[in-house]
Chain A
Amino acid sequence: MSPATPPTPDAVVVPIESRLVEFVQRLRALGIPIGVDQAVSFAESFAWIQPLHRSEVYHAARATLVNRQEYLELFDRAFSEFWEPLRASAQPQKAPQAPRHRPEQFQRSTLVSFMAEKAKRESKEIEVTDRTETATQVEWLQRKDFATMSDDELRALREAMTGLRWDFSQRLSHRLIKSRRGRMLDHRDTLRRAAKLGGVVVELRRRDRKQKPRPLIVIADISGSMELYSRIVLQFFHGLSHQLRGTESFGFGTRLTRVTDAFALRNVDIALDAVSSEVIDFAGGTRIAESLHTFRHLWGPKLLRRGAVVVLISDGCETGDVEQLKREIQALQRSCYRLVWLNPRLGQHRYEPKVRGMAAALPYVDDFLPIHNFESLRQLRDHLARLPKRKGGSGEVSRRL
């Protein structure tokens, strides 16, 4: 972000800004990958163009948001669809709301100026004097939606993620180990002690079942608008999986592919870039049911065992058959210990899971949790550390907002 044009909380700019974000999200939903920095450049370009001239906005958007020829056609269509109705209806402009009515907007601008301030002076001394403010910033960062974060903030987030400690849900294996308060007798040890005392059993030695971490399987939608969230969540699990052997990761869009090995070798971002062309067919939309079907058939027998926990990251926008999605989710839940569905939209204000796919799948999901900001990541970690001992009856969904 350029410090030359510090954004001012101008009352008139606010509605346009949110409209721009909406447009960017629309493009992402269509499968055009748009990074946060691109969206910021698009917003910045408004300082140099006439926002009421349609063709200027069009070319500015095209120049800043699209960087591959293949997307141009899709972009053109989306642009006219998005901006045309607005022109036609010519609604009277609503009175702008004061920033205090939109705390999100207000806080963003203070944060942006703070970040710009910080970017200029990177000496350690400043960090120390700014400590109180940094604390509030970190706190704020925890509740900020990933999609609205700048590069700097995302970097800060990644650092914060590496600091998280992991304590994943354990299962009782059938292997027995010595344990002072175990539930089973250790005959061998008890007898060995008794033998020394001429056959008098003075002390009972005990054994108990060894605890082992559950296998964890992460299946993430990495297409379109889900890409950013999935990247962060996969990174989160990747960082934690160093403390946990046997975490398996899969990415899907129109198709599903296993990314576990790629993650082990490379950084998550590079690995995802490499696989995204493989699994995403921009015309094909998001095929959750088909991807889950592939997962169950190819990997299920190998991975869905020993109390596996499956974490699915998706917004539930199924472009395929919704009935099939329902069957797949049902079958998946039956064959794992716990099925956790993470949906970034759940973090949005007044979200209702009414998307066709989401509504169909919900009755068969054990946990339905938001995953849009750092705080939700921490909640997820805490939740995964304390998974209930037995699977709750289907239809019983723990939903945290």
Chain B
Amino acid sequence: MKADSLEQIAETLEAEGYVSDPAVSMSLFLALKMRRPLFLEGAPGVGKTEIARVLSRAFATELIRLQCYEGLDIHHALYEWNYPRQLLRLQAGQSEDLGAIYSDEYLLKRPLLQAIDPARSTSPVLLIDEIDRADEEFESFLLELLSDFQVTIPELGRIEAAHSPIVILTSNRTREIHDALKRRCIYCWIDYPSTQKELAIVSMKVPALSEHVREQVVSLIQKLRREDLLKPPGIAETLDWAEALMHLGIAELDTDTVRQTLGVILKNQEDISVVEGLLEDDAWVAQVG
């Protein structure tokens, strides 16, 4: 992949099926050039994780994904010893030397260690997904790792990446991430796409759907996002819906079809009843077209 200029980044993303915008391209370009992690924040389903996938395809390199959750610790993020094997070895009486059980053979490499493995010949893409789900303790640990891509394992010593990974962090913003971590990153807020951009995305991902229905779908989704919903549909939902309508062989989107397929775009009973109410309202439906 060529990433020498802003235009090249935009082209590469396009070629890999990602409809970008100037803000995203710029952040990504800078993150790659400055070798800084890219911090993507935005509502669920706007394509944050997708950027990491696209990058790994474009660079033809491995995607290492770490899904965050509360209580995520170094044993699950970085490394763990294979205790049963260590114990067997000890009890088999083969070990005169204690160091033997603390060697590579008994080391379980978790995503972060895989990403900075010195044995790698290329930079992998490291996706740290939904960092807002992890707790503050994990954030502090990441600070250390992301600043110089090296860790110290007490029994083994220091491990440093030969090729520092391309790091993408995503957050759904269910909580504020600490400034200390954000400061080390290039920050990019990904908003819901414009009508035009969303149409381009749907055309690219679900080309089998007729253009007319695609326009109807995007127009309705855009309208729904302006309503007071708890969980407004993201691009992921738009694409799911477009695909569902394609399978149903819909040629014209009417209120009945919308009602029947609402479960694809809205996952909250309260939101569904709000939208069902809106669908009763002829004036509202007329606005969507």
Q: Are A175 and B83 in contact (CB under 8 A)?
A: no
Which residues of the other chain, B, contact A301 by a CB distance below 8 angstroms?
A: 174, 230
CB distance from B89 to the nearest CB of A (A): 8
Q: Does B249 contact A (CB under 8 A)?
A: no
Interface size on B, residues (CB 8 A): 25
Q: Does B181 contact A (CB under 8 A)?
A: no
Which residues of the other chain, A, contact B270 by a CB distance below 8 angstroms?
A: 327, 331
Q: Does B277 contact A (CB under 8 A)?
A: no
Q: Are B174 and A305 in contact (CB under 8 A)?
A: yes
Q: Which of B66-74, B114-122, B184-192, B238-246 contacts A (4 or more CB under 8 A)?
A: B66-74
- Report the bound CA distance from A173 to B86 in whole Å: 30
Main secondary structure of the interface of A (DSSP, over half): helix
Ordered by A's residue number, 13 sampled pairs between the chains whose C-beta atoms are within 8 Å are A173-B71, A175-B137, A188-B83, A191-B83, A195-B90, A195-B98, A199-B89, A199-B91, A199-B93, A293-B228, A297-B228, A301-B174, A305-B174
Which residues from 267 to 283 on chain B have a C-beta closer than 8 Å to any C-beta of chain A?
A: 270
Closest to B91 in A: A199
Q: Are A300 and B71 in contact (CB under 8 A)?
A: no
From the candidates B73, B86, B90, B174, name the one contacting A198 in the complex (CB within 8 A): B90
Closest to A331 in B: B270
For the complex of A and B, the 3 pairs showing the least CB-CB separation, nearest first, are: A199-B90, A174-B71, A175-B71
- Report the bound CA distance from A299 to B5 in whole Å: 40
Q: Are A302 and B173 in contact (CB under 8 A)?
A: yes
Which residues of the other chain, B, contact A66 by a CB distance below 8 angstroms?
A: none
From the candidates B98, B135, B230, name the one contacting A296 in the complex (CB within 8 A): B230
Q: Does A201 contact B (CB under 8 A)?
A: yes
Q: Does B101 contact A (CB under 8 A)?
A: yes
Q: Does B15 contact A (CB under 8 A)?
A: no
Which residues of the other chain, A, contact B175 by a CB distance below 8 angstroms?
A: 302, 305
- Report the bound CA distance from A305 to B174 in whole Å: 9
CB distance from B256 to the nearest CB of A (A): 26
Q: Are B93 and A198 in contact (CB under 8 A)?
A: yes
Q: Are A188 and B81 in contact (CB under 8 A)?
A: yes
Which residues of the other chain, B, contact A191 by a CB distance below 8 angstroms?
A: 81, 83, 86-87
Which residues of the other chain, A, contact B83 by a CB distance below 8 angstroms?
A: 187-188, 190-191
CB distance from A296 to the nearest CB of B (A): 7
Task: Indicate with 1 or 0, residue by residue over B122-152, a CB within 8 angstroms of chain A CB atoms.
Answer: 0000000000000101000000000000000
Task: Indicate with 1 or 0, residue by residue over B50-84, a CB within 8 angstroms of chain A CB atoms.
Answer: 00000000000000000001110101000011010
Q: Does A306 contact B (CB under 8 A)?
A: yes
Task: Indicate with 1 or 0, residue by residue over A185-219, a CB within 8 angstroms of chain B CB atoms.
Answer: 00110110011101111000000011000000000
Which residues of the other chain, A, contact B230 by a CB distance below 8 angstroms?
A: 296-297, 300-301
Closest to B268 in A: A331
Q: Are A201 and B87 in contact (CB under 8 A)?
A: yes
- Report the bound CA distance from A368 to B119 in whole Å: 62
Which residues of the other chain, A, contact B101 by a CB distance below 8 angstroms?
A: 195
- Report the bound CA distance from A171 to B90 in whole Å: 39
Which residues of the other chain, B, contact A36 by a CB distance below 8 angstroms?
A: none
- Report the bound CA distance from A200 to B124 in whole Å: 41
Besides A173-B135, A196-B98, A198-B93, 14 new A-B residue pairs in contact (Cβ under 8 A), listed by A number: A173-B70, A175-B73, A176-B71, A176-B73, A187-B81, A190-B83, A191-B87, A195-B98, A195-B101, A200-B91, A293-B228, A296-B230, A297-B228, A306-B70
- Report the bound CA distance from A54 to B225 in whole Å: 59
Closest to B96 in A: A198
Task: Indicate with 1 or 0, residue by residue over B91-120, a CB within 8 angstroms of chain A CB atoms.
Answer: 101010010010000000000000000000
Q: Are A174 and B137 in contact (CB under 8 A)?
A: no
Q: Are A175 and B135 in contact (CB under 8 A)?
A: yes
Task: Indicate with 1 or 0, residue by residue over B167-184, a CB within 8 angstroms of chain A CB atoms.
Answer: 000000111000000000
Which residues of the other chain, B, contact A210 by a CB distance below 8 angstroms?
A: 71
- Report the bound CA distance from A175 to B137 in whole Å: 9
